[in-house]
Amino acid sequence: MSRSARAAVSALLFSTALVFSSPAVQAESFGLGRLATPEEIAAWDIDVRPDGQGLPEGRGGVMTGEEIYQERCASCHGEFGEGSGRWPVLAGGEDTLDTEDPVKTIGSYWPYLSTVFDYVNRAMPFGDAQSLTPDETYAVVAYILYLNDIVEDEEFELSKENFTTVRLPNEVNFIEDARPDTAKVEQAEPCMSDCKAEVEITARARIIDVTPDEDAAD
């Protein structure tokens, strides 16, 4: 093949490659992607915020929550939220956060009730996530509040209407990030007395294996 012929073939191949590398042609050729439907977006848009935004309609009481909890949750978290084996403890731990062995539960550590609801709603029960109805989720969260003595009336009913009136004990100890490169910098000085001079890593979760084994849950 002559030099001029080879040049013509090369130019043709190059121009063809440019055409088929354009996003429009790729999408048309391979059928990649489409707009999400409103139903698909709604299925993912289930997060709940501290101000109550995202809460579904519904209600559930402590006693109903106890029944659901014993059936769906107690095998891992214990009958009274004490944890079974190495599964997370949900209740107790008051006044332990400043000790060498803090017990971080919903009653002792978590800042917002919305975090509890959101986690139960999205991820629980383990292995059967999002199987609870909104009413069942409200009921389970109400029972967890009862286990932590945050509500003391066994007739208490949690709902979308009264959700934001419930405050967790440790909320006041969570402060906004006051570093100068953040949007909100007006923040009272946090307590920094008796702090360690340096923070060092003493162990890694991967090494100490903090994930419960299936056998441990039996």
> Could you tell me the residue range of the domain that residue 110 belongs to?
48-173
Q: 3-state class of 150 per DSSP?
A: coil
* pLDDT tens-place string over residues 101-113: 999 999 999 999 9
Q: Residue 64 falls within a domain, yes or no?
A: yes
The answer to whether residue 152 sits within a structural domain is yes
C-alpha to C-alpha distance for 186 and 180, rounded to whole angstroms: 9
Pairing label, strands 59-61, 157-159: antiparallel
What is the CATH number for 106? 1.10.760.10
pTM for this model (two decimals): 0.68
Q: How buried is 103 (Cβ within 10 angstroms: 0-12 exposed, 13-18 middle, 19+ buried)?
A: middle
pLDDT in tens, 179-203: 777 665 455 566 667 776 776 878 7
Classify residue 143: in a domain, yes or no: yes
- Does the residue 84 lie in any domain? yes
H or E segment to which residue 69 belongs: helix 62-72
Q: Please tell me the total count of domains within the chain.
A: 1
* Residue 59 in domain: yes
pLDDT in tens, 48-105: 999 999 999 999 999 999 999 999 999 999 999 999 999 999 999 999 999 999 999 9
Flag whether 16 is in a domain. no
Look at residue 26 and tell me if it is in a domain: no
Residue 218 lies in a domain: no
